[in-house]
Amino acid sequence: MNVPLRVKIKRRRIIAPRAKARRFYGQGLPGVDLSKLAGKLIVVEGADGSGRSTQIARLVTWLEECGHATVQVGLKRSTLVSEELEQAQQGNILSHTTLSLFYATDFADQLENIILPGLRAGLMVLADRYIYTLMVRDMVRGMDAAWVRNLYGIALQPDAVFYLNVPSEELVVRTFAKKQSLDYWESGMDLGLSRDMFDSFLQYQNLVAQRFKELQACYDFTIVDGRRSVDAVNRELRQRIQSVLQGE
Amino acid sequence: MEISIREVDLAAFLFPNHRHKPKKERVKTFAELGFPGRLIAVEGLDGSGKSTQIYLLKRWLESLGLKVFFSEWNSSPLVKNATSKGKKRELLSPTTFSLIHATDFADRYERQLSPLLRAGYLVLCDRYAFTAYARDTVRGCPQDWVRGIYSFAPLPDLVFFFKASLETSLQRILDGRPQLKYFEAGMDLHLSTDPYESFRMFQGRLLEQYLAMSSEFHFLEIDANQPIEAQQSVVRDLVAARVKLSEYGCNHPESVK
């Protein structure tokens, strides 16, 4: 007898997030109305190799299964300057202030053309890094903290910021497992910490992690232990996002 | 709007500029900061004749055998690509317009202006940060934000402001180059659908900004309705009076090549 396998249809109630009072970190963008942003802005921060992209990919799948539409943003993805920024970085020809402002332009373009319209349309906006990485990179390179704060006063405060914390020794292992070489910028080679790339990577990542901890004290990140399994980390992220969606 | 007290405290701590005006710490000039070089900038509306004047100043300083470098607004080869794409495709908002010009300026400042000024050059700039202060503010960017961004660069030692009547500047531009570009005409401000009318209104607003900055930043005002030669003569006199030109010769024993 051929009985068709019965599939259990589970339906959970889809939560539609409600617009809440929003604010920019500083003076914000000219002419932007913040009153009707129904979507949620969720930021995942962390070093290369901390599992950001893997986690975001899983979150997208999960959110879509739950009935939410998503859109993703990340560094160096703007229509305006991403190509030029990439080119300039390849040649390592930009000085600190220039590079910093180039990244800020890239960020502002995505904020205005993807993040804000996305939130207005009620989407879940997932940001693979946000202003914090940019601020930390600038500050590690000796830029004035007040200058950096003023610059990123244009940024919208997210609904949640998760920092995937992985010690630099573990990052090296993960990076080598993936591509057997260290990235010039992720090793902070432009800082001249050490001529040895391996040393420089460890020192640089430690400096970055230290700065992130300083920012965490005032920016209210959720620090997520990124050393655990992909599943374990994702479970924690889902729980936390769930409570954001429920407006907790 | 419901904002918890904690959030307010946090924001005030992180972004003090938002609630309180930042302490007005005047940006210093290159001379005040001990740079051996001197920076001379020209500012004014399109069509005020400033580019002609700085060119003539440059020719004169060169003829005296001095170490001179000239830099133009929006000319960094690295950033130019992005800027022209943004402009052609009308991709720029007031914020990205401001940031991309700041990027251009930073690139020129860090790679050319600053090193040359440390090496004792006379650096001539066709437009400086004041152009951004005026344009970006007219486009709606907060003044403190714009000035904060440019605060990494010292102020020029001399700023010549070529003050022409609005009608004179408009005429010079509109006579010579009737095809106005989108951002040049300030079309992004939606002041008028007619590019010429929009250009007039935009230039008028820029002039107001310049006039307001003139006393704040001690601009040396030059009457741009005068003949070219008369203006140049005033410019050269002022430069000679305020800069010890004899110290900027190419064969100066302390000069750094």
% helix / strand / coil in chain B, to the nearest 5? Answer: 55, 10, 35
Task: Flag whether pLDDT at A36 surpasses 90.
Answer: no
Test mutation, B19, B100, B110, B118, chain A, max A CBs within 10 A: B100
Give per-residue pLDDT as tens, B22-55.
Answer: 455 678 999 999 999 999 999 999 889 999 999 9
Contact A67, A14 (CB under 8 A): yes
When the pLDDT of each residue in chain A is averaged and rounded to a whole number, the result is 91
> What pLDDT was estimated at residue A170?
94
**Band of pLDDT at residue A32, cut at 50, 70 and 90:** confident
Chain A residues interacting with chain B (CB cutoff of 8 angstroms): 20-21, 23-27, 29-31, 79-81, 83-84, 88, 93-98, 100-102, 104-105, 108-109, 112, 144, 146-147, 149-151, 153-154, 218-220
Q: Which of B22, B81, B144 sits opposite A84 (nearest CB)?
A: B81
Distance from CA of A55 to the nearest CA of B (A): 28
**Band of pLDDT at residue B56, cut at 50, 70 and 90:** very high
Distance from CA of A236 to the nearest CA of B (A): 24
> What pLDDT was estimated at residue A1?
61
User: Among the listed ranges A123-132, B166-175, B200-209, which one has the minimum average pLDDT value?
Assistant: B166-175
β-pairing, B38-44 vs B158-163, is: parallel
Instruction: Flag if A94 and B78 touch (Cβ within 8 Å).
Output: yes
> What pLDDT was estimated at residue A143?
93
**Band of pLDDT at residue A92, cut at 50, 70 and 90:** low
> What pLDDT was estimated at residue B52?
95
Test mutation, B103, B113, B145, B190, chain A, max A CBs within 10 A: B103
Instruction: Flag if B93 and A23 touch (Cβ within 8 Å).
Output: no
Instruction: Flag if A25 and B15 touch (Cβ within 8 Å).
Output: yes
- The fold of A42-245 is Rossmann fold (3.40.50)
In order of start, what are the domains of chain B with their CATH numbers? Answer: 31-248 (3.40.50.300)
Phi then psi dihedrals of residue A140, to 5 deg? -60, -30
User: Among the listed ranges A34-43, A87-96, B66-75, which one has the minimum average pLDDT value?
Assistant: A87-96
Instruction: Flag if A98 and B100 touch (Cβ within 8 Å).
Output: no
Q: Which of A93, A102, A218 sits opposite B14 (nearest CB)?
A: A218
Share of chain B above pLDDT 90, in %: 69
**Band of pLDDT at residue A9, cut at 50, 70 and 90:** confident
Name the range with the highest mean pLDDT among A129-138, A169-178, B188-197.
A129-138
Contact B152, A147 (CB under 8 A): yes
- Could you tell me the residue ranges of all domains in chain A? 42-245
> What pLDDT was estimated at residue B88?
83
Instruction: Flag if B14 and A149 touch (Cβ within 8 Å).
Output: yes
Query: Coil, helix or strand for B160?
Result: strand
Residue A92: closest C-alpha in chain B: B78
Q: Residues B157, A144, B124, CA angle at the centre, nearest 5°?
A: 20
From first CA to last CA, the distance across chain B in angstroms is 61
pLDDT (mean) for A222-248: 94
Phi then psi dihedrals of residue B72, to 5 deg? -110, 150
CA distance linking residue B115 with residue B133, whole number of Å: 24
> What pLDDT was estimated at residue B139?
95
Contact B39, B157 (CB under 8 A): yes
R_g of chain A, CA atoms, integer Å:
20
